[in-house]
Chains A and B, each alone.
Chain A
Amino acid sequence: MNQLAQENLKRILARQNHRATVCVALLLVVAILLGCGMLMLGNTNYSLAEVFAYLLGKEGGSGAYTIGSLRLPKLLVGGLAGFAFGVSGYTFQSLLRNPLASPDIIGVTAGSSAAAVFCILILGISGPLASGFAVVAGLAVTGLILLLSGGGKAFGSRMILIGIGFQAMLNALISWMLLKGSEYDVGTALRWLRGSLNSVQMSDVPVTLIVTVIMSGLLFYCNRYLRMMQLGDEYATALGVPIQATRICCLVAALILSATATAATGPIASVAFLSGPIAGRIAPGSRKTMVLSGLVGVILVYAAELVSKNVFSTGYPVGVITGLLGAPYLLLLLLNLNKKGEKLG
């Protein structure tokens, strides 16, 4: 009997795993298609053959500039940032065991964003140094939020409320700095308050790429511990998980991811918040959910960028579109959580 149960369990797990693999492949295809769309469509449309010719440097002219210098950086940085937001959001949500605890809801991203604005507009520093500063500020804000939330029963709920307060203050600070900064205009303002791909450059790619690869790698390595910790701290300890180390390691890695992405594109609204739950819906309880949420992040950013550039004549920044997506989901989530009568903490 026991044997049979074990067999069944194995079969179910294998099926889940299989399903997750298929999903990863599917999402990858979707992301690539959307990416091609981003290169092809815009003010001037190009065919796929033309795009490749320009990319490989076979043809010059204005098309080469449009694709190589305008659309390619958006594709690369947008993809990396989407992936980073997705993975870090998933990590936060599973680490704190709360779908609301994504970095963009609890004010962590706003901290990084404020630091990046400070560096770029006030100190005139950009690039890796600004990213580094954003990471440190994100860590400091998170530390402060966790510290102020204290331990005890209401830890989770207090953390979210304090995060909301921090976010309000940091956004006000960002507005202040934008007004003081010499380059104040609507475009930059929206980039730093909502996130946008409009001003990304090829020079943003290396740092973002390296950090995203290293930190995602680290998180993927920690993922199995993270999954065991979902069972509760007691079980995880019994299974031999180094709880404290995993927690700190994951938190720092996720923070670095989201801060680096924020330094490159601004806090693209709701991507971190939406990716994890969507991925969880597609392939629940699999160890590939983390990769999946990264891919969902990429797809969200690409799709929002495509919509903003081609559907609306005004070219909304991506963050406005993703923000419009995220808000109703947030309401729905709240309604569901309230209905279940679940303690939000």
Chain B
Amino acid sequence: MKKETSHTYNFIWGFGIELILLLVGAALSVAYGSKQIPLSQIVAYITGNEVDPFLAAVIAARIPRTVFGLLAGASLGISGALMQSITSNPIADPSILGVNTGASLFVVIGIAYLGISSGMGLIGLAFVGAMLTAVFVYGIASVGYGGANSLKLALAGAAVSTALGALVNTIMLPDSHVMKEFRFWQVGSIGGGTWEDVRLLLPFFAVGLVFSLCCASSLNALSLGDEMAVALGVRVGLIRLVAAFAGVLLCASVTALAGPIGFVGLMMPHLIRQLFTCDLRILLPMAALGGSALLTLSDVAGRVLGRPGELEVGIITAILGAPVFVWIVWKSKVKNI
């Protein structure tokens, strides 16, 4: 009994830290840029007080980007946690599995050849692309003896990612203007986030979140192994399907609007599993909060490191996340690979 209480305190601590990080990230994201804004002005703006009109315009432009970053980070965090859970594989992540690149490819095809430019159309395309890629990668990896283990999944994902990335390049290259404008289809960026993007992303995020939270306890049972889960009354196939749908939906909608942002979904769930809990009912919301904090902070870091311009947030998350990936592989003993 006592242990349970200490666990609860632990979780409260965890949520508290993440919330603080998230707020710091959001505040920095609004305050920092080519024009610095003092915190007092931001508070004044939000509470509806009088603000210098120029500063007000800057703040008004940065807030949607920040909100979009928070939503995108949360989506990616949950998506990564779901994929790791479904595949019972420590290195599953939308970018490692090539799902982001698949979504990206479909979006680029839609823009270049089909003349689609509405946000909804792009999200639809990205979803189809992501789903097809996910199935394809999993299919390749599960051929042969031993099913889809880490190595086979990662290799298949990397290979598919390379292949589709080459296609994205080929489609974009003919027009260097297009390339500059759409560079974020190669490396994700939340720099162009607007209120419209937020409005587009929000329903998908909500659906994904609800679906994943509904699956959470069944997914917990699934982590004990398929037989055990069946014995506990879980409909394994259905749960896998729903969770995969939610995971792909979340990462595809982000990719459709911001391009492929890697490693957020890999880092956050791992960190939380190390520090707090493996219970998905707690882990999923924590991964969402942590993903938000991570993405906004990375975005700010991109603006600091890329002065006078800015670095795409996808570059920062890759620089941060790839070592984590290496560390996971290094740490995992023979049994996992």
Contacts and interface: CB of A to CB of B under 8 A. Distances in A.
Interface of A: 100, 148-150, 152-154, 157-158, 160-162, 164-166, 168-169, 171-173, 175-176, 179-180, 186, 190, 194, 269, 312-314, 316, 320, 323-324, 326-328, 330-331, 334-335, 337-341, 344
A337 B169 CA distance: 28
B137 to A, nearest CB: 10
Grouping DSSP codes into helix (H, G, I), strand (E, B) and loop, the A interface class, with mixed when no group exceeds half, is helix
Given A168-B325, A169-B322, A175 B187 contact: yes
Given A154-B337, A168-B322, A323-B162, A175 B151 contact: no
B334 interface: yes
Contacts of B141: 338
Interface stretch (B42-50, B57-65, B142-150, B211-219): B142-150
B324 to A, nearest CB: 8
Given A330-B163, A338-B141, A162 B330 contact: yes
A157 B337 contact: yes
A337 B140 CA distance: 10
A339 B319 contact: no
Nearest to B318: A172
A338 to B, nearest CB: 4
B121 interface: no
- Interface hub of B158, B316, B321 (most chain A Cβ within 10 A): B158
Given A324-B167, A338-B152, A314 B173 contact: yes
A172 B315 contact: yes
Tell me which of A100, A161, A173, A190 has the highest count of chain B C-beta atoms within 10 A of its own C-beta: A161
B176 to A, nearest CB: 5
B306 A180 contact: yes
Interface in B114-146: 140-141, 143-146
A331 B140 contact: yes
A164 B154 contact: yes
B254 interface: no
Contacts, number: 135
21 contacts: A148-B330, A160-B151, A162-B329, A164-B154, A169-B319, A172-B314, A172-B318, A176-B311, A176-B319, A186-B179, A314-B174, A320-B170, A324-B167, A327-B159, A327-B163, A331-B140, A331-B159, A334-B155, A335-B143, A339-B144, A341-B146
A176 B319 CA distance: 10
B264 interface: no
Interface residues of B, number: 52
A338 B145 CA distance: 7
A177 to B, nearest CB: 10
A180 B310 CA distance: 9
Given A165-B322, A168-B322, A194-B169, A176 B315 contact: yes
Contacts of B91: 161
A338 B163 contact: no
| Residue of A153, A164, A165, A313 most packed against chain B (CB within 10 A) | A165
A320 B164 CA distance: 12
B155 A100 contact: yes
A324 B322 contact: no
Contacts of A328: 163
Contacts of B330: 148-150, 158, 162
Interface of B: 91, 95-96, 140-141, 143-146, 150-152, 154-156, 158-160, 162-164, 166-167, 169-170, 173-174, 176, 179-180, 187, 262-263, 305-306, 309, 311-312, 314-316, 318-319, 321-323, 325-326, 329-330, 334, 337
B144 A340 contact: yes
A340 to B, nearest CB: 7
Contacts of A160: 151, 155
A148 B326 CA distance: 8
Contacts of B158: 164
Which 8 residue pairs of A and B lie closest in terms of their CB atoms, listed nearest first?
Answer: A327-B163, A169-B322, A341-B145, A172-B318, A338-B144, A165-B326, A323-B166, A165-B325
Contact of B315 (A149, A175, A316, A334): A175
A64 B163 CA distance: 39
A92 B306 CA distance: 36
Nearest to A153: B334
Contacts of B315: 172, 175-176, 179
Contact of B166 (A148, A173, A324, A339): A324
A179 B313 CA distance: 13
Contacts of B173: 186, 190, 314, 316, 320
B140 A338 contact: yes
B99 to A, nearest CB: 15
A157 B309 contact: no
A331 B160 contact: yes
From A150, A158, A316, A344, name the one whose CB has the most chain B CB atoms within 10 angstroms.
A158
Given A158-B330, A269-B166, A331-B160, A186 B319 contact: no
